[in-house]
Amino acid sequence: MNQPDVLHLCMGSACHQRGVYHLLPKLQALIRQYNLEDRLKLKGSFCLGPCTYGIVMQFGGEIIVNVTADNIEQKLREEILPYLVDEEV
Ligand code: FES
């Protein structure tokens, strides 16, 4: 089985102010809902850089900005799921 891909979620102060701690449980619930526990590892991160566009995540070298509790499922479906490394068959 492949190593899980890592999704970094910025826990820096700007993203904190924008509600990352409100978004976190929703993201964790989505990871369970989509059965991604073995394929996607969620890691908290220090500031990822583009604070003005928070909340910010990083996945596979790509920065994902303007994440909110309302659009996190869409971001997951469009910007993360298609790029997950498939499990070996
Ligand atoms: S605090 Fe999140 S990108 Fe800087």
Is residue 63 lining ligand 1, measured as CB closer than 6 Å? no
pTM of the model: 0.92
Residue 13 alpha carbon to ligand 1 centre in Å: 7
Q: Cite the DSSP H helix spans in the chain.
A: 13-17, 20-33, 72-75
Domains for the chain: give ranges and CATH numbers. Answer: 5-83 (3.40.30.10)
Residues whose CB is less than 8 angstroms from the CB of residue 81 and which lie 6 or more positions away in sequence, other chains included: 34
Give the length of the chain.
89
**Residues in a beta bridge with 8:** 43, 58
For residue 19, give the 3-state DSSP assignment.
coil
Residue 89 alpha carbon to ligand 1 centre in Å: 38
pLDDT in tens, the chain (89 residues): 678 899 999 999 999 999 999 999 999 999 999 999 999 999 999 999 999 999 999 999 999 999 999 999 999 999 999 999 765 44
Is residue 44 lining ligand 1, measured as CB closer than 6 Å? no
